[in-house]
Structure 1
Amino acid sequence: MLDVPIALLPVPLAPEISLHLVDAPLGLFDLTGGEFHSDSPPPFWAFVWAGGQALARHLLDHPGEVAGRRVLDLATGSGVAAIAAARAGAAEVAATDIDPAAVAAARRNAVANDVTLADAVEQPDVVLAGDVYYSPSVAPQITAQLRAFRRNGASVLVGDPGRGYFPERLFALVTEYVVPVPESLEETGELRTGIWRMR
Protein backbone atom coordinates (compact mmCIF):
# COMPACT_ATOMS: atom_id res chain seq x y z
CA MET A 1 0.00 0.00 0.00
CA LEU A 2 0.99 3.63 -0.47
CA ASP A 3 2.30 5.84 2.31
CA VAL A 4 -0.58 8.30 1.80
CA PRO A 5 -4.12 8.46 3.18
CA ILE A 6 -6.31 5.77 1.56
CA ALA A 7 -10.01 5.65 2.39
CA LEU A 8 -13.09 3.77 1.21
CA LEU A 9 -14.87 6.46 -0.78
CA PRO A 10 -17.96 6.52 -3.03
CA VAL A 11 -17.28 6.87 -6.75
CA PRO A 12 -18.48 10.37 -7.76
CA LEU A 13 -20.41 9.30 -10.89
CA ALA A 14 -21.42 5.89 -9.49
CA PRO A 15 -21.91 6.32 -5.73
CA GLU A 16 -23.40 2.83 -5.50
CA ILE A 17 -19.75 1.69 -5.63
CA SER A 18 -17.09 2.56 -3.04
CA LEU A 19 -13.36 2.15 -3.63
CA HIS A 20 -10.16 2.37 -1.60
CA LEU A 21 -8.72 5.60 -3.04
CA VAL A 22 -6.22 8.31 -2.22
CA ASP A 23 -7.96 10.65 0.22
CA ALA A 24 -5.82 13.73 -0.29
CA PRO A 25 -5.40 16.43 -2.96
CA LEU A 26 -2.61 14.60 -4.77
CA GLY A 27 -1.85 13.88 -8.41
CA LEU A 28 -0.57 10.62 -9.87
CA PHE A 29 3.09 11.61 -9.88
CA ASP A 30 2.91 13.14 -6.41
CA LEU A 31 2.82 9.50 -5.31
CA THR A 32 6.05 8.64 -7.13
CA GLY A 33 8.18 11.54 -5.91
CA GLY A 34 7.33 13.53 -9.03
CA GLU A 35 9.09 11.05 -11.31
CA PHE A 36 8.14 8.26 -13.69
CA HIS A 37 9.99 4.97 -13.16
CA SER A 38 9.53 2.53 -16.04
CA ASP A 39 10.41 -0.44 -13.86
CA SER A 40 7.32 0.06 -11.70
CA PRO A 41 4.05 1.51 -13.00
CA PRO A 42 2.63 4.57 -11.24
CA PRO A 43 -0.25 3.73 -8.88
CA PHE A 44 -3.09 4.31 -11.35
CA TRP A 45 -5.21 2.06 -9.12
CA ALA A 46 -5.20 4.64 -6.28
CA PHE A 47 -7.53 6.93 -8.26
CA VAL A 48 -10.85 6.43 -10.02
CA TRP A 49 -10.34 7.78 -13.54
CA ALA A 50 -12.98 9.39 -15.74
CA GLY A 51 -13.12 6.55 -18.28
CA GLY A 52 -13.70 3.92 -15.61
CA GLN A 53 -16.33 6.03 -13.88
CA ALA A 54 -18.22 6.53 -17.15
CA LEU A 55 -18.09 2.80 -17.93
CA ALA A 56 -19.36 2.00 -14.44
CA ARG A 57 -22.27 4.44 -14.75
CA HIS A 58 -23.15 3.11 -18.20
CA LEU A 59 -23.19 -0.51 -17.05
CA LEU A 60 -25.21 0.23 -13.92
CA ASP A 61 -27.75 2.14 -16.01
CA HIS A 62 -27.74 -0.36 -18.90
CA PRO A 63 -27.18 -3.78 -17.29
CA GLY A 64 -28.20 -5.52 -20.52
CA GLU A 65 -24.71 -4.75 -21.85
CA VAL A 66 -23.23 -7.38 -19.52
CA ALA A 67 -26.03 -9.32 -17.77
CA GLY A 68 -25.42 -13.07 -17.99
CA ARG A 69 -22.23 -12.55 -20.00
CA ARG A 70 -18.52 -13.22 -19.42
CA VAL A 71 -16.70 -9.91 -18.94
CA LEU A 72 -13.03 -8.92 -18.98
CA ASP A 73 -11.93 -5.53 -17.62
CA LEU A 74 -8.62 -4.79 -19.34
CA ALA A 75 -6.15 -2.45 -17.56
CA THR A 76 -8.55 -2.45 -14.62
CA GLY A 77 -6.86 0.12 -12.36
CA SER A 78 -9.10 0.38 -9.30
CA GLY A 79 -11.52 -2.20 -10.71
CA VAL A 80 -14.48 0.19 -10.90
CA ALA A 81 -15.73 -1.05 -14.30
CA ALA A 82 -15.31 -4.70 -13.31
CA ILE A 83 -17.25 -4.12 -10.09
CA ALA A 84 -20.03 -2.35 -11.99
CA ALA A 85 -20.22 -5.27 -14.44
CA ALA A 86 -20.58 -7.72 -11.56
CA ARG A 87 -23.23 -5.50 -9.96
CA ALA A 88 -25.05 -5.36 -13.31
CA GLY A 89 -25.42 -9.15 -13.38
CA ALA A 90 -22.48 -10.39 -15.45
CA ALA A 91 -22.11 -14.18 -15.24
CA GLU A 92 -18.37 -13.89 -14.62
CA VAL A 93 -15.96 -10.94 -14.42
CA ALA A 94 -12.17 -10.89 -14.49
CA ALA A 95 -9.93 -7.86 -14.04
CA THR A 96 -6.43 -7.75 -15.54
CA ASP A 97 -3.65 -5.17 -15.43
CA ILE A 98 0.08 -5.08 -16.12
CA ASP A 99 0.50 -3.86 -12.53
CA PRO A 100 -0.06 -6.64 -9.96
CA ALA A 101 -0.84 -3.92 -7.39
CA ALA A 102 -3.81 -2.85 -9.53
CA VAL A 103 -5.19 -6.39 -9.66
CA ALA A 104 -4.79 -6.62 -5.88
CA ALA A 105 -6.55 -3.26 -5.48
CA ALA A 106 -9.40 -4.37 -7.75
CA ARG A 107 -9.83 -7.50 -5.63
CA ARG A 108 -9.85 -5.46 -2.39
CA ASN A 109 -12.42 -3.14 -3.91
CA ALA A 110 -14.54 -6.05 -5.13
CA VAL A 111 -14.67 -7.46 -1.59
CA ALA A 112 -15.69 -4.03 -0.27
CA ASN A 113 -18.59 -4.06 -2.75
CA ASP A 114 -19.67 -7.67 -2.07
CA VAL A 115 -18.81 -8.96 -5.54
CA THR A 116 -16.33 -11.57 -6.74
CA LEU A 117 -13.76 -11.28 -9.52
CA ALA A 118 -12.54 -14.38 -11.34
CA ASP A 119 -8.84 -15.01 -12.00
CA ALA A 120 -9.51 -15.15 -15.74
CA VAL A 121 -12.33 -15.31 -18.26
CA GLU A 122 -11.84 -17.49 -21.32
CA GLN A 123 -13.32 -16.03 -24.49
CA PRO A 124 -15.03 -13.01 -22.93
CA ASP A 125 -18.34 -11.86 -24.38
CA VAL A 126 -17.62 -8.25 -23.36
CA VAL A 127 -14.31 -6.45 -22.93
CA LEU A 128 -14.15 -3.18 -20.98
CA ALA A 129 -11.29 -0.65 -21.08
CA GLY A 130 -11.44 2.61 -19.16
CA ASP A 131 -9.02 5.47 -19.75
CA VAL A 132 -6.45 3.31 -21.53
CA TYR A 133 -5.39 5.73 -24.31
CA TYR A 134 -3.18 7.94 -22.14
CA SER A 135 0.19 7.51 -23.88
CA PRO A 136 1.56 7.09 -27.41
CA SER A 137 3.43 3.93 -26.41
CA VAL A 138 0.47 2.23 -24.73
CA ALA A 139 -2.19 3.12 -27.32
CA PRO A 140 -1.11 0.77 -30.16
CA GLN A 141 -0.71 -2.16 -27.76
CA ILE A 142 -4.17 -1.62 -26.29
CA THR A 143 -5.69 -1.23 -29.75
CA ALA A 144 -4.13 -4.50 -30.93
CA GLN A 145 -5.49 -6.33 -27.88
CA LEU A 146 -8.98 -4.87 -28.26
CA ARG A 147 -9.09 -5.63 -31.99
CA ALA A 148 -8.13 -9.24 -31.29
CA PHE A 149 -11.00 -9.56 -28.80
CA ARG A 150 -13.36 -7.93 -31.29
CA ARG A 151 -12.31 -10.34 -34.07
CA ASN A 152 -13.13 -13.19 -31.69
CA GLY A 153 -16.67 -11.91 -31.33
CA ALA A 154 -16.48 -9.88 -28.12
CA SER A 155 -18.30 -6.60 -27.71
CA VAL A 156 -15.68 -3.97 -26.77
CA LEU A 157 -16.60 -0.88 -24.74
CA VAL A 158 -14.08 1.88 -24.01
CA GLY A 159 -14.49 4.85 -21.70
CA ASP A 160 -12.34 7.74 -22.93
CA PRO A 161 -12.25 11.40 -21.83
CA GLY A 162 -10.42 12.63 -24.94
CA ARG A 163 -6.92 11.66 -23.89
CA GLY A 164 -5.46 12.36 -27.32
CA TYR A 165 -4.28 8.90 -28.40
CA PHE A 166 -7.76 7.40 -28.81
CA PRO A 167 -8.29 5.94 -32.34
CA GLU A 168 -11.82 7.30 -32.75
CA ARG A 169 -12.17 5.93 -36.31
CA LEU A 170 -12.29 2.38 -34.91
CA PHE A 171 -15.20 3.14 -32.59
CA ALA A 172 -18.80 4.39 -32.54
CA LEU A 173 -19.94 6.74 -29.78
CA VAL A 174 -22.63 5.21 -27.54
CA THR A 175 -23.13 8.05 -25.05
CA GLU A 176 -21.31 10.71 -23.06
CA TYR A 177 -21.11 11.64 -19.39
CA VAL A 178 -19.76 14.69 -17.59
CA VAL A 179 -17.56 13.03 -14.98
CA PRO A 180 -16.46 14.71 -11.72
CA VAL A 181 -12.69 14.40 -11.26
CA PRO A 182 -10.19 15.78 -8.72
CA GLU A 183 -8.53 18.97 -9.90
CA SER A 184 -5.28 17.77 -8.34
CA LEU A 185 -5.36 14.85 -10.80
CA GLU A 186 -6.79 16.39 -13.98
CA GLU A 187 -6.35 20.18 -13.59
CA THR A 188 -10.13 20.53 -14.01
CA GLY A 189 -13.16 19.55 -11.97
CA GLU A 190 -14.92 17.52 -14.66
CA LEU A 191 -14.24 15.75 -17.94
CA ARG A 192 -16.68 14.99 -20.75
CA THR A 193 -16.16 11.27 -21.28
CA GLY A 194 -17.45 9.08 -24.07
CA ILE A 195 -18.51 5.45 -24.00
CA TRP A 196 -17.34 4.01 -27.31
CA ARG A 197 -18.12 0.66 -28.93
CA MET A 198 -15.46 -0.84 -31.19
CA ARG A 199 -16.74 -1.33 -34.73
Structure 2
Amino acid sequence: MKNIEEVVRYIEDEISKTADAECSSILAEVNEAKAKAEEELYKEAKKDTQLQLASQLAEIEAEAAIEISKSNSETTKKLIAKREVYTEMVFAEVIRTLNEFTASKDYEAFLIKKAKKMAAVCSLDGSAFLIRKQDEKYAAAISSAYGHQCEVKIDASIAMGGFIFENVLSHAVYDETLDAAFKDQHEWFANHSGLIIQ
Protein backbone atom coordinates (compact mmCIF):
# COMPACT_ATOMS: atom_id res chain seq x y z
CA MET A 1 0.00 0.00 0.00
CA LYS A 2 2.96 2.28 0.72
CA ASN A 3 4.18 1.83 -2.89
CA ILE A 4 0.80 2.93 -4.21
CA GLU A 5 0.80 6.03 -2.00
CA GLU A 6 4.31 6.90 -3.19
CA VAL A 7 3.27 6.43 -6.82
CA VAL A 8 0.19 8.62 -6.26
CA ARG A 9 2.36 11.36 -4.70
CA TYR A 10 4.79 11.04 -7.58
CA ILE A 11 1.95 11.30 -10.10
CA GLU A 12 0.55 14.38 -8.37
CA ASP A 13 4.00 16.04 -8.38
CA GLU A 14 4.55 15.21 -12.08
CA ILE A 15 1.15 16.57 -13.08
CA SER A 16 1.69 19.73 -11.02
CA LYS A 17 5.17 20.30 -12.50
CA THR A 18 3.91 19.78 -16.05
CA ALA A 19 0.97 22.11 -15.53
CA ASP A 20 3.18 24.84 -13.95
CA ALA A 21 5.74 24.58 -16.76
CA GLU A 22 3.06 24.76 -19.49
CA CYS A 23 1.36 27.75 -17.81
CA SER A 24 4.67 29.63 -17.42
CA SER A 25 5.57 28.97 -21.06
CA ILE A 26 2.16 30.14 -22.28
CA LEU A 27 2.31 33.31 -20.18
CA ALA A 28 5.82 34.11 -21.45
CA GLU A 29 4.71 33.67 -25.08
CA VAL A 30 1.60 35.78 -24.56
CA ASN A 31 3.58 38.52 -22.79
CA GLU A 32 6.18 38.54 -25.60
CA ALA A 33 3.49 38.67 -28.29
CA LYS A 34 1.64 41.43 -26.44
CA ALA A 35 4.82 43.49 -26.03
CA LYS A 36 5.62 43.25 -29.76
CA ALA A 37 2.08 44.13 -30.73
CA GLU A 38 1.96 47.13 -28.39
CA GLU A 39 5.21 48.50 -29.86
CA GLU A 40 3.78 48.31 -33.40
CA LEU A 41 0.53 49.87 -32.33
CA TYR A 42 2.37 52.72 -30.63
CA LYS A 43 4.05 53.65 -33.94
CA GLU A 44 0.73 53.55 -35.78
CA ALA A 45 -1.05 55.47 -33.02
CA LYS A 46 0.51 58.69 -34.28
CA LYS A 47 -1.44 58.26 -37.50
CA ASP A 48 -4.59 56.57 -36.29
CA THR A 49 -7.36 57.73 -34.03
CA GLN A 50 -8.00 56.42 -30.50
CA LEU A 51 -10.84 54.29 -31.86
CA GLN A 52 -8.54 52.39 -34.24
CA LEU A 53 -6.09 51.73 -31.40
CA ALA A 54 -8.82 50.27 -29.18
CA SER A 55 -10.05 48.10 -32.05
CA GLN A 56 -6.61 46.62 -32.72
CA LEU A 57 -5.93 45.98 -29.04
CA ALA A 58 -9.21 44.07 -28.79
CA GLU A 59 -8.22 41.98 -31.81
CA ILE A 60 -4.82 41.12 -30.25
CA GLU A 61 -6.45 40.12 -26.98
CA ALA A 62 -8.89 37.87 -28.84
CA GLU A 63 -6.05 36.16 -30.74
CA ALA A 64 -4.09 35.70 -27.50
CA ALA A 65 -7.17 34.17 -25.86
CA ILE A 66 -7.50 31.74 -28.78
CA GLU A 67 -3.82 30.78 -28.51
CA ILE A 68 -4.13 30.29 -24.74
CA SER A 69 -7.23 28.17 -25.27
CA LYS A 70 -5.44 26.01 -27.86
CA SER A 71 -2.43 25.62 -25.60
CA ASN A 72 -4.61 24.75 -22.59
CA SER A 73 -6.40 22.14 -24.67
CA GLU A 74 -3.10 20.52 -25.67
CA THR A 75 -1.86 20.62 -22.07
CA THR A 76 -5.06 18.98 -20.87
CA LYS A 77 -4.70 16.21 -23.47
CA LYS A 78 -1.11 15.58 -22.35
CA LEU A 79 -2.10 15.53 -18.68
CA ILE A 80 -4.96 13.10 -19.35
CA ALA A 81 -2.58 10.78 -21.21
CA LYS A 82 -0.09 10.95 -18.31
CA ARG A 83 -2.85 10.28 -15.79
CA GLU A 84 -3.89 7.16 -17.72
CA VAL A 85 -0.29 5.91 -17.85
CA TYR A 86 0.22 6.44 -14.12
CA THR A 87 -3.13 4.84 -13.25
CA GLU A 88 -2.25 1.78 -15.33
CA MET A 89 1.15 1.59 -13.59
CA VAL A 90 -0.52 1.67 -10.17
CA PHE A 91 -3.03 -1.03 -11.03
CA ALA A 92 -0.45 -3.23 -12.77
CA GLU A 93 1.36 -3.22 -9.43
CA VAL A 94 -1.90 -4.03 -7.62
CA ILE A 95 -2.55 -7.00 -9.94
CA ARG A 96 1.01 -8.24 -9.41
CA THR A 97 0.54 -8.02 -5.63
CA LEU A 98 -2.81 -9.84 -5.82
CA ASN A 99 -1.25 -12.61 -7.91
CA GLU A 100 1.51 -13.00 -5.32
CA PHE A 101 -1.12 -13.14 -2.57
CA THR A 102 -3.25 -15.82 -4.26
CA ALA A 103 -0.10 -17.91 -4.75
CA SER A 104 0.87 -17.58 -1.08
CA LYS A 105 -0.07 -19.73 1.92
CA ASP A 106 -2.04 -16.78 3.34
CA TYR A 107 -4.62 -17.07 0.55
CA GLU A 108 -6.18 -20.28 1.91
CA ALA A 109 -6.56 -18.63 5.35
CA PHE A 110 -8.22 -15.67 3.61
CA LEU A 111 -10.76 -17.96 1.91
CA ILE A 112 -11.46 -19.83 5.15
CA LYS A 113 -12.03 -16.57 7.04
CA LYS A 114 -14.43 -15.35 4.34
CA ALA A 115 -16.31 -18.70 4.37
CA LYS A 116 -16.74 -18.47 8.15
CA LYS A 117 -18.10 -14.96 7.70
CA MET A 118 -20.69 -16.36 5.26
CA ALA A 119 -21.74 -18.98 7.89
CA ALA A 120 -22.46 -16.13 10.31
CA VAL A 121 -24.44 -14.22 7.67
CA CYS A 122 -26.40 -17.04 5.97
CA SER A 123 -26.31 -20.64 7.17
CA LEU A 124 -29.18 -22.07 5.10
CA ASP A 125 -29.36 -25.19 2.99
CA GLY A 126 -29.03 -24.56 -0.74
CA SER A 127 -25.86 -22.51 -0.38
CA ALA A 128 -23.08 -22.56 -2.93
CA PHE A 129 -19.61 -21.10 -3.20
CA LEU A 130 -18.49 -20.18 -6.71
CA ILE A 131 -14.71 -20.21 -7.10
CA ARG A 132 -12.20 -19.95 -9.92
CA LYS A 133 -10.69 -23.13 -11.39
CA GLN A 134 -7.27 -22.50 -9.81
CA ASP A 135 -8.87 -22.49 -6.34
CA GLU A 136 -10.48 -25.93 -6.72
CA LYS A 137 -7.87 -27.31 -4.29
CA TYR A 138 -9.43 -25.14 -1.54
CA ALA A 139 -12.99 -26.45 -2.05
CA ALA A 140 -12.91 -28.80 0.95
CA ALA A 141 -11.41 -26.13 3.23
CA ILE A 142 -14.09 -23.61 2.18
CA SER A 143 -16.90 -26.13 2.71
CA SER A 144 -15.50 -27.16 6.09
CA ALA A 145 -15.10 -23.53 7.22
CA TYR A 146 -18.71 -22.81 6.23
CA GLY A 147 -19.79 -25.70 8.42
CA HIS A 148 -23.16 -26.27 6.76
CA GLN A 149 -24.35 -28.20 3.75
CA CYS A 150 -23.13 -26.41 0.64
CA GLU A 151 -21.77 -26.87 -2.87
CA VAL A 152 -18.48 -25.54 -4.17
CA LYS A 153 -18.60 -24.92 -7.91
CA ILE A 154 -16.27 -23.52 -10.55
CA ASP A 155 -17.18 -20.15 -12.05
CA ALA A 156 -15.16 -19.10 -15.11
CA SER A 157 -16.08 -15.43 -14.62
CA ILE A 158 -13.87 -15.19 -11.51
CA ALA A 159 -10.36 -14.32 -12.67
CA MET A 160 -8.45 -12.99 -9.66
CA GLY A 161 -9.70 -15.12 -6.77
CA GLY A 162 -12.05 -15.16 -3.80
CA PHE A 163 -15.59 -16.48 -4.21
CA ILE A 164 -19.22 -15.61 -4.80
CA PHE A 165 -21.60 -16.98 -2.16
CA GLU A 166 -25.18 -17.75 -3.21
CA ASN A 167 -28.19 -19.15 -1.40
CA VAL A 168 -31.13 -20.21 -3.57
CA LEU A 169 -33.61 -20.20 -0.66
CA SER A 170 -32.93 -16.68 0.57
CA HIS A 171 -31.78 -15.34 -2.84
CA ALA A 172 -28.72 -13.95 -1.03
CA VAL A 173 -25.65 -13.28 -3.16
CA TYR A 174 -22.40 -12.02 -1.66
CA ASP A 175 -19.53 -11.17 -3.99
CA GLU A 176 -16.35 -11.78 -2.03
CA THR A 177 -14.15 -11.98 -5.12
CA LEU A 178 -10.89 -10.14 -5.51
CA ASP A 179 -12.25 -9.15 -8.93
CA ALA A 180 -15.06 -7.12 -7.30
CA ALA A 181 -12.69 -5.60 -4.74
CA PHE A 182 -10.26 -4.64 -7.52
CA LYS A 183 -13.05 -3.00 -9.54
CA ASP A 184 -14.26 -1.06 -6.47
CA GLN A 185 -10.73 0.12 -5.70
CA HIS A 186 -10.18 1.13 -9.32
CA GLU A 187 -13.32 3.31 -9.18
CA TRP A 188 -12.36 4.69 -5.77
CA PHE A 189 -8.88 5.55 -7.04
CA ALA A 190 -10.28 7.33 -10.08
CA ASN A 191 -12.53 9.45 -7.83
CA HIS A 192 -10.16 10.09 -4.92
CA SER A 193 -6.59 9.95 -6.21
CA GLY A 194 -6.30 13.68 -6.88
CA LEU A 195 -5.55 12.95 -10.55
CA ILE A 196 -8.68 14.72 -11.81
CA ILE A 197 -7.98 17.06 -14.74
CA GLN A 198 -10.06 20.22 -14.69
- TM-score range for the pair, normalised by the shorter chain length: under 0.3
Answer with 1 or 2: which has the greater Rg.
2
**Larger helix percent:** 2
